[in-house]
Every structure is written in structure tokens, then in C-alpha cells.
């Protein structure tokens, strides 16, 4: 593990990391986040009774677009040719929440963790935007990397939480 931030040069100036000498490999990342509602509004959205239609499908599409635009949003991210992006929004009745999951894949010299995290963030924000007139208590939380594979640093899997 490195003991310095690689996005700064020896003079402390920001830099895009030089990946030209890295080996290409298959890269994959999965991220997850939650959007929570009051019970009545959660049920309304889950059952598709919002005047805006199925908010979840719009959020899934927005997440895919977000993954594709990550390098436009995060200043030092490399633009990557993504080979696959999947975003799903599922209901969690126990938490009155929608669980947003993104899986991003590429074959390249740098990973897709930021693309997966951006996809989840944009999808969560889209749900918020489409439902904000219905519920002022919306909570976006726990956006996190679940797993990644490929590259020199190897695989990562977030430890399961105790219930």
C-alpha cells in the first residue's frame, strides 16, 4: 500500500495519475446506496402510484448515464471505455428504502470504482429529484463500494455487516 496520495505530484500539485506503464486487465466494480422514505411515500413509489411514473426505471437510466460521464464530473478520473454498466433499483420494505446497485466493467489500465460510485450517486439523486415534492424527509445514505476486481491492487469485497 502506498503512503502518499497519487493524485498529487512531488510539489503537491494535482495531477492525473499516469497509467501508461500499467498492464491492462478486466476491471469490475460494484457499488450500492440507499434512498429512504416515510412509509406512505415509499409505498406510493414502490407501487408506481407517483404522477411521474416508475421513478425506479428513470433512476436506473440516469445511473447508467452517470457512469458514462464520471470523468466529466470527477476532475482527475480517466475517461474509460466502459464495456458494461448495469444499475438496479429494488425495494426494501423493511427499511422503506430503495436499494440502488451499480455494476461497471471495463478492460483497461485503471479501475471502475468511481464509475460505479457515480452511477449509484446519480441514480439516488434522480430518485430524490423525482420524489422531493412528495416527501421532505428523503434520506440518501451509505453509498459505498461493495467489491472490485482486477488490477495490481487485487480484489476487494466489503465485509458483510452483522444483522
Cα-to-chain-centroid distance, residue 139: 16
Q: Are 27 and 113 in contact (CB under 8 A)?
A: no
33 vs 99: CA distance, rounded Å: 6
Active-site pick, 9, 18, 43, 129: 129
Spatial distance between the Cα atoms of 115 and 119, rounded to a whole number of angstroms: 6
Cross-strand partners of 36: 97, 139
Active site residue 129: yes
Assigned C-alpha cell, 103: 455494476
The residues facing 145 across adjacent strands are 31
Question: Which grid cell sits at 139?
Answer: 434520506
Rg for the chain (alpha carbons), in Å?
A: 18
What are the catalytic residues?
Answer: 129
Amino acid at each position: 500500500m502506498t503512503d502518499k496520495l497519487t493524485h498529487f505530484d512531488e510539489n503537491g500539485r494535482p495531477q492525473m495519475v499516469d497509467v501508461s506503464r500499467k498492464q491492462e486487465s478486466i476491471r469490475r466494480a460494484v457499488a450500492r446506496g440507499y434512498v429512504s422514505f416515510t412509509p406512505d411515500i415509499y409505498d406510493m413509489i414502490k407501487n408506481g402510484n407517483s404522477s411521474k411514473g416508475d421513478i425506479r426505471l428513470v433512476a436506473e437510466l440516469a445511473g447508467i448515464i452517470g457512469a458514462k460521464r464520471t470523468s466529466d464530473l470527477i476532475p482527475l478520473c480517466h475517461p474509460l471505455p466502459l464495456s458494461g454498466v448495469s444499475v438496479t433499483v429494488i425495494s426494501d420494505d423493511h427499511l422503506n428504502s430503495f436499494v440502488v446497485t451499480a455494476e461497471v466493467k471495463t478492460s483497461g489500465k485503471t479501475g471502475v470504482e468511481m464509475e460505479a460510485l457515480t452511477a449509484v450517486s446519480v441514480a439516488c439523486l434522480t430518485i430524490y429529484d423525482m420524489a422531493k415534492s412528495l416527501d421532505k424527509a428523503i434520506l440518501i445514505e451509505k453509498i459505498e463500494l461493495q467489491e472490485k476486481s482486477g488490477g495490481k491492487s487485487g480484489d476487494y469485497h466489503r465485509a458483510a455487516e452483522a444483522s
